[in-house]
Amino acid sequence: MAGCRTDCIEEPLSMSFGSLGRFIGRHPWWFLVIPTLVSVALGGGFYFLKDREANDIEEQFTPVNGPAKKERLFVQDNFPENDSVFSVQRLATEGAYASILAVSETNILRRAAFEEILSLYDDVMQISAGVDQRKYNDICATVQQNCYSNAILDIIGYNSSNIESINLTFPMYKSSSGFVFLGSAVGGVNESLIVEQAQAIRLFFYLQEKRPETYLWLKEFIKLFSGESKLKFKEVSVSYYTSISRQQEFEANSKTVIPLFAATYALAISFSIVSCLRLDNVRNKVWVATFGVFSAGLAVLSSFGLLLYVGVPFVMTVATAPFLILGIGVDDMFVLISYWQKTNVHDKVEDRLAETYKHAAVSITITTLTDVLAFYIGVMTPFGSVQSFCLYTGTAVLFCYIYSITFFGAILALNVPLLVYHPAFIFFDQYAVIVTNTIQNILVATAVMLVISLLLIPNPLCSLWVTFAIASVIVGVAGFMALWGVNLDSISMINLVICIGFSVDFSAHISYAFVSSSKSTVNEKATDALHSLGYPIVQGAVSTILGVVVLSVAESYIFRTFFKIMLLVISFGLVHGVVFIPVFLTFFGICSKSDR
């Protein structure tokens, strides 16, 4: 239809933002103080941070209703465990245990080596924990009212001199009480039936899972053997492992990234200041850039505090969100500053801010909607860690947008006057659903991005080019993930959700600027769009990369994967935004308001 308008939403929205900018320009202190007070109030939610931490590996990184969990429940109902009649074969979980592995460079079946092993055993027997100082014999899993014992020590009668006089058979040994399986206790044996030489001995200490002292005892065990003196002997070298070791290592990894927060914000502030430096002191934006980074920090404080108030679990993966939000906030800041500096310096503050909001606010609204929806769509996944990450990050992006429009706008206005069942199956379930869930999220999010682009960019063909850019970036990122050795798992899935939202940012900015340009020819429109937003887009890309670059030195796989995929997304998105999209729009030459 000739009379059909494709800007029926964009035009009223642009005018509304212009009115909002004018109002903020007249009353900047309201929009400076109110967001600050809201942030302080919501920041009180961090009081509940300790209670909301949910870093259980099984709970957060396996499907919520995975089939292995239902199968385990069936096993537990039909084959219940009994710590007083303990059997390793009846365990439906890893159980509660500590393990010591002693290794010899020559032959461990010697008296001298077993003297050191028995010394280790005695040290374990002396460990006590809890208010009542419970020892191993008080909380151990029992068989016939005796602690579950180590077969190799029973065979020698806990006397090191007997090891050289006993003829050990492997893997089954016939003792006075029956056959004993030594396959899990003795390692590195020779191939003969009679074991004459072995390299390793492993001891297990099984505990009652439901006793409150068990966890404390295991922590004391780790504390005892974490010292170098307990792991170095003359005859054997010793290593240890417990049922809580993996969880403790996982939680410890999250603490290593805390010092990186300060480095990230220092990098972002420094880059923002350098980018906004001008030879003209009146138009210098040093303090504006600083408060732009501060605005992103307020968004993190408010969003995280709000979700902590309402009880949303705080998972380790959420710790990457502040790095991401910093990049998004700085990106919005650069776009607002770019449009602000294009206004007439002789106009009134409210007029300049109205003109800035009329153009910039619509652009950042498009990118915010795509980002927020991409994250909230990720909540549909069955992984608790992904759900928490998407909720926290999506809400933080929303707050970042609100504070960019209100708080940062007020900063601009203030500046102008001055200027088969196995426990391991629990973790295998993710690979059964990860591909389908990833494809589903990508397709749904891409469709949503297309609808938003059609509504807010006043030309359907431009919207299709933006959607094409999303698909192209996703394909490129997926391909380079394989080349870079990044596997498709729940961690990389989180980052692919990010990819959908971020890949549209650069293309949407350029497309909207191209459509909105008042130039007469397509070449002039492309030139005008790149002139207006090319540098801010490059600034935003570099600032986002700087926001996550410190994660490249993190020891954790989660943070290194996050850095790799974000680097790919930003790099490909930037190339599409400033190279491919302008070429396509110029080549077809019909994406303009005059063609609607």
Grade residue 71 by pLDDT with cuts at 50, 70 and 90: confident
Q: How far apart are CA 203 and CA 240, in angstroms?
A: 10
Mean pLDDT value across residues 212-232: 79
Does position 427 have pLDDT exceeding 70, yes or no?
no
Residue 543 has a pLDDT of 84
219 and 295 together in one domain: no
Domain boundary, last residue among 213, 242, 271: 242
Rounded to 10 degrees, what is the CA torsion of 31, 36, 41, 47?
Answer: 150
Q: What is the DSSP pairing of strand 146-147 with strand 96-103?
A: unpaired
* Residue 392 pLDDT > 70: yes
CATH number at residue 19: 1.20.1640.10
- 181 lies in some domain: yes
- The secondary element (H helix, E strand) that includes residue 101 is strand 96-103
Question: Rounded CA gap, 36 and 402, in Å?
Answer: 12
231 and 326 share a domain? no
- Where do we find the tokens 């899993």? 141
pLDDT of residue 395: 92
Same domain as 338, residue 411: yes
pLDDT exceeds 70 at position 591: no
For residues 402 and 521, state if they share a domain: yes
Domain-located, residue 591: yes
The string of DSSP codes covering 28-90 is HHHHHHHHHHHHHHHHGGGGGHHHHB---HHHHHSBTT-HHHHHHHHHHHHS---GGG--GGG
Residue 574 makes CB contacts below 8 A (sequence gap 6+) with 506, 537, 538, 541
So what's the pLDDT on residue 360? 84
Q: Is residue 287 part of a domain?
A: yes
What torsion, rounded to 10 degrees, do the Cα atoms 209, 212, 213, 216 define? 90
Residues 506 and 372 in one domain: yes
Would 248 be classed as within a structural domain? no
Which two structure tokens, joined as six digits, stand for 377?
Answer: 């769509």
- Contact status, residue 88 vs residue 184, Cβ threshold 8 Å: no
pLDDT at 110: 87
Residue 198 has pLDDT above 80, yes or no: yes
φ, ψ of residue 63 to 5 degrees: the values are -55, 140
- Of 225-229, 426-430, 477-481, where does the model show the most confidence? 477-481
Q: Report the alpha-carbon distance of residue 124 to residue 205 in Å, rounded.
A: 9
Same domain? For 238 and 265 the reply is no
498 with 544, same domain: the answer is yes
Q: Are residues 236 and 266 in the same domain?
A: no
Q: Are residues 154 and 266 in the same domain?
A: no
**Is the residue at 80 inside a domain?**
no
Residues 295 and 374 occupy one common structural domain = yes
Q: Please, which pLDDT band fits residue 209 given cuts at 50, 70 and 90?
A: confident
Residue 440 lies in a domain: yes
Averaged pLDDT for residues 286-292: 77
**In this predicted structure, what is the pLDDT of residue 528?**
84
- What is the per-residue pLDDT for 129? 85
Model confidence band, residue 349 (pLDDT cutoffs 50, 70, 90): confident
The last residue of a domain, from among 208, 242, 276: 242
Among the candidates 242, 271, 301, a domain finishes at 242
Is 249 a domain residue?
Answer: no
Q: What are phi and psi of 187, to 5 degrees?
A: -130, 160
- Same-domain check for residues 227 and 278: no
Number of domains in the chain: 2
Q: Taking 50 as the threshold, does the pLDDT of residue 189 lie above it?
A: yes
In a domain, 234, yes or no: yes
- What H or E segment, with its residue span, contains residue 385? helix 384-403
Asked if 495 and 522 sit in the same domain, the reply is: yes
Q: 118: Cβ–Cβ under 8 A, 6 or more apart, which residues?
A: 153, 158, 160
Which residue range is the domain that position 568 belongs to?
A: 11-52+261-419+434-595
